[in-house]
Amino acid sequence: MGLSNPLLEIHGLRKEYMQPGGPVQALYLDFLEARAGDAIAVTGPSGSGKTTLLHLLAALVRPSQGSIRFDGRDLPAAAYSARWRALSVGYVFQEMNLLPDFSLLENLLIAAEISGVPRAFDRSLSLLCRLGIEDLRYRRPAKLSLGEQQRAAVARAVLHAPPLLLADEPTASLDAENAGIVMNLLLELAAESKSLLLVATHDEAVKKRFPRVVELTKNIEKTGQRGNLP
Amino acid sequence: MKSSTKLFIASRHLRSRAFQTFSVVAVVAFSVGLAVALFLVSQGLQLGLVHAVEPFELIVGAKGSPYQLLLNTVFLQDAPIGNIGWEDYAELSDDVRVGSAVPLGFGDSYRGYPIIGTVSSLLDVRVRPSDPPWLRITQGRWFEEGRFEAVLGAQAAARSGLRLGDGFRTSHGIVAGDEHSEEYRVVGIAETVQGPWDRAIFVPLEILQSVHEHEHEGEHESESESEGEGKEVTTVLVHPASYADAYRLAVSYQNDSGKQLIFPAQTAIRLFALIGRGEAFLSIVVYAVEACALLTTLLVLYWSGAARSRERMLLRVLGLPFKTLVFISWLEGTIALSTGAFLGELLGRAGAHAAFSLLGEATAIQPTVPLTLQECLAPLVLLSVGSLSTLAVAWRDARNSEEPPR
């Protein structure tokens, strides 16, 4: 790994949101470099910008300042962000990851079609089998436990073997047992597909499972104030 | 994404929110159905009236309301204004401006079916010179003058209970009144004329006159047998010798104190214009209902869209392009609107046919309305405006989903 080129390079990344009282800085990250297959825990207190960082990496929002380079190129502009996400990003949220009107299998098949996954049905079914939820494939999310929903969300996120796998507090709504299962799956599947895994968490137990940790600090000062370096 | 998948997602969303979907479909169907039914009834009635009036070029009758003369003679509704003398008919027959004149006598009925006293020359009436005779016999034969014989109009034959060879007695007046003692025998059944005269029962005019004279002026029975003297007719159908002669005749009747001549087609148009004023008010009501339907639809779509913001965000995170997101939301609204509009068209047609059936039962006017673009205007306008508005709501929803989920 050490000899390969970095997959992700971040320099002077800043994100501000406009508020009635003026722009508020949500994130400042001076530098980050990561390679394919790396697993990184992004930690820090609430408001430190963990979720914002993941949104920026998924091209859901644009940075106010600084650059994000992925695979040697600047992150695509917003016009291409949908395609970028479909091909390159897998995303797991804290909860409510699944489309409520569709069965678990349909959720995976829709995601697979958006990403253009070949042999989507077989791939989806084999993932569900591996995650031990194949018997639940025709159930809608409302009929699943939170743990089962999160496992399905992991399956959907890794379905297209994305180079960048992002998870935002994926275990925050789960009990310890289910949190362990979901984290095992995330780490295993990311390693198999050589995805760069970034998990935002404030859970010490989760943090300990990562060889590398990026610590963000809270910074709610107005623009012009510098946030903490990781 | 494949079109079938977009359709699958949109239809699943609609199914999952069955109540909202049903509300939109029901409201749209109701408003479109109302508009279509009103249009069809109005158009059908107009066409039915025009069709009913076609064979009658000019009508001469007693002075009074031209509408009453029209309603009585053409539509067999309302009581006759009064009679004119046989000599007036004779004078018309001899007039060089008149191609043919057919005398008619009204006033009696059988179980609500009007009796028309007439002569055989009625069988020569044609809508256009090249057309076959307007009134034709389909079973039996035409009556013989001077005998108590009757020919049933098509609807009278179908619904009065009378058959060929049956005997029956008529009543005085349109509603059941005093029964005359003489009995007519059914000798023929006419082919349908697709109009009010299908309800008629045709009898020889001179027999009708003699019955009335016998009933009301029994003491003058012998006198009335002399040629035309004292006899009356209710109206005369006139076929003018030429178009110009029609107007010359009309002018000559303008100052007549006892008689009037009407152009049935013109009178019907004026009558319809009177009805049209009420129809215009109804149209405003229908437009208001359509506007309410559209507003309700948009509100339902707006709320439904707002409730699904999380789903749109998820789809966006999965990499669904913005325009596909808009398209799916638009498709949902448009499917609901189209279904409502289609059902509304069917409901409108069904409602109009029910109204036509009732109208046909009562008047034998048989309105027929072919499918026209004008009829589809209400569903098309609602669908177009609704679809565009849905697009705006979908666009707005998709824009709102740009705020990333947590």
- Please, what is the Cα angle at B298 between B292 and B302, to 5 degrees? 145
Which one has a higher pLDDT value, B291 or B168? B168
Q: Let me know if residue B315 belongs to a domain.
A: yes
pLDDT tens for A4-30 read 788 999 999 988 888 888 888 888 898
Look at A58-67, A103-112, B22-31, B41-50 and tell me which has the smallest mean pLDDT: B41-50
Q: Of the residues B262, B287, B307, which one is the last residue of a structural domain? A: B262
Which one has a higher pLDDT value, B244 or B280? B244
Q: Is B255 found in the same domain as B130?
A: yes
pLDDT at B19 over 60: yes
CB distance B317–A113 less than 8 Å? Answer: no
pLDDT at B220 over 50: no
Q: Let me know if residue B405 belongs to a domain.
A: no
Q: What would the mean pLDDT of A170-198 be, rounded to a whole number?
A: 89
pLDDT tens for B126-135 read 888 888 999 9
Q: Is B252 found in the same domain as B227?
A: yes
The contacts of residue B296 (CB under 8 Å, 6+ apart) are B23, B24, B27
For A:33-52, CB contacts with B below 8 A are 51
Q: Measured between CB atoms, which of B13, B318, B405 is closest to A114?
A: B318
Phi, psi dihedrals of residue B146, rounded to the nearest 5° = 85, 5
Q: Is B134 found in the same domain as B246?
A: yes
Q: Which residue carries 């079109």 as its tokens? A: B3
In this prediction, residue B305 carries a pLDDT of 75
In this prediction, residue B255 carries a pLDDT of 84
pLDDT at B365 over 70: no
Contacts of B322 in chain A (CB under 8 A): 82
Interface probe for A, chosen from B314, B325, B400 (most Cβ of A below 10 Å), is B314
- Look at residue A132 and give its three-state secondary structure: coil
Closest alpha carbon within chain B to A107: B315
Residue-wise burial string across A114-133, b where 16 or more C-beta atoms lie within 10 A, e elsewhere: bbebeebeebbbebbeebeb
Task: Taking the CA atoms of B361, B367, B370 and B376 in sequence, report the sign of the dihedral they define.
Answer: negative
Q: What is the DSSP string of A146-210?
A: HHHHHHHHHHHHHTT--SEEEEESTTTTS-HHHHHHHHHHHHHHHHHTT-EEEEE---HHHHTT-
Mean pLDDT of chain B: 84
CA-CA distance, B62 to B232, in Å (whole number)? Answer: 11
Q: Is B10 found in the same domain as B69?
A: no
Phi, psi dihedrals of residue A215, rounded to the nearest 5° = -105, 120
Confidence of residue B222 (pLDDT cuts 50, 70, 90): very low
User: Å from A82 to nearest chain B CA?
Assistant: 4
CA-CA distance, B343 to B37, in Å (whole number)? Answer: 12
Q: Let me know if residue B389 belongs to a domain.
A: yes
Q: Is B328 found in the same domain as B190?
A: no
CA-CA distance, B218 to B206, in Å (whole number)? Answer: 15
Q: Is B196 found in the same domain as B81?
A: yes
Task: Report ipTM for this prediction.
Answer: 0.84
Q: What would the mean pLDDT of A166-173 be, rounded to a whole number?
A: 89
Closest alpha carbon within chain A to B322: A82
CA-CA distance, B16 to A102, in Å (whole number)? Answer: 9
Q: Give the CA diameter of chain B.
A: 108
Q: What would the mean pLDDT of B337-344 be, rounded to a whole number?
A: 91
Q: Let me know if residue B406 belongs to a domain.
A: no
CB distance B5–A113 less than 8 Å? Answer: yes
Confidence of residue A225 (pLDDT cuts 50, 70, 90): very low
Total number of domains constituting chain B: 2
In this prediction, residue B402 carries a pLDDT of 59
Q: Is B305 found in the same domain as B161?
A: no
Domains of chain A: 36-62+77-215 (3.40.50.300)
In this prediction, residue B167 carries a pLDDT of 92
Q: Is B185 found in the same domain as B87?
A: yes
Q: Is B280 found in the same domain as B172?
A: no
pLDDT at B174 over 80: no
Interface probe for B, chosen from A114, A140, A160 (most Cβ of B below 10 Å), is A114
Confidence of residue B287 (pLDDT cuts 50, 70, 90): confident
Q: Let me know if residue B150 belongs to a domain.
A: yes
The angle that helices B309-318 and B377-400 make with each other, rounded to 10 degrees, is 70
CB distance B404–A93 less than 8 Å? Answer: no
Task: Taking the CA atoms of A131, A136, A137 and A143 in sequence, report the sign of the dihedral they define.
Answer: negative
Which one has a higher pLDDT value, B212 or A126? A126
Q: Let me know if residue B191 belongs to a domain.
A: yes
Q: What would the mean pLDDT of A146-152 be, rounded to a whole number?
A: 89
pLDDT at A172 over 90: no
In this prediction, residue B102 carries a pLDDT of 94
In this prediction, residue B129 carries a pLDDT of 83
User: Å from B21 to nearest chain A CA?
Assistant: 15
- Look at residue A124 and give its three-state secondary structure: helix
Chain B interface residues (partner A, CB cutoff 8 A):
1-2, 5, 9, 12-13, 15-16, 310-311, 314-322, 404-406
Which residue segment(s) compose the domain that B351 sits in?
3-50+271-400
CB distance A58–B316 less than 8 Å? Answer: no
Q: Is B121 found in the same domain as B253?
A: yes
Q: Is B197 found in the same domain as B275?
A: no
Distances (CA, A) of A220 to A25, A159, A165, A210: 6, 37, 28, 27
In this prediction, residue B228 carries a pLDDT of 54
In this prediction, residue B212 carries a pLDDT of 73
Q: Is B174 found in the same domain as B85?
A: yes
pLDDT at B215 over 70: no
Percent of chain B with pLDDT over 70: 90
Confidence of residue A139 (pLDDT cuts 50, 70, 90): very high
Which one has a higher pLDDT value, A83 or B305? A83
In this prediction, residue B60 carries a pLDDT of 94
Q: Which residue carries 């275990």 as its tokens? A: A171
In this prediction, residue B224 carries a pLDDT of 43
Confidence of residue B97 (pLDDT cuts 50, 70, 90): very high
